[in-house]
Structure 1
Amino acid sequence: MRKEMEALYDSGKARAIGVDNFSSKKLGNLLEVARIPPAVNQVECHLSWQQPKLHGFCKSKGIHLSAYTPLARPQILKNRLLNLVP
């Protein structure tokens, strides 16, 4: 799949390559063989799980960390910092 994505990038059909749910270890393994590094890694990240190690690794490699969170999780909505649920 990596080679196919790099071919799409080379042809101009893709402007960037991204991954999702890659740990620091998986990203490190990918960076060892990839000719074109991923521009973004989309992972679950929120007040209860901020993943600072992964964020630091991505930053050091020039990879944008894009956060998503399933807001339907009760522990997230009840977080006092969000103040969404009385």
Structure 2
Amino acid sequence: MGENPGGAEGWRLDALCAETDPEAFFPEKGGSTREAKRVCSGCSVRAECLEFALANDERFGIWGGLSERERRRVRLQRRSPLSA
């Protein structure tokens, strides 16, 4: 990709969600996350998005293809020592 003109968060310039209805990424409680996750699945900056959400403790919405609950699980797995 070369130089990142947007700095540390330049990945946002390539995010597919920027071209999509933002409401899909912040569904009401009990609403479907299917459309947002479908968009994320084809996004080239999905990993950067997820890491941003984890680093900034994003509590709402779909980030990097994961829901709030799924991100919470990732955080807990990263904190816990690996068990055999």
TM-score by length of 2: 0.28
The structure with the greater share of residues assigned to helix is: 2
Structure 1 or 2: larger strand share? Answer: 1
Query: Whose Rg is larger?
Result: 1
The alignment's TM-score, normalised by the length of structure 1, stands at: 0.28
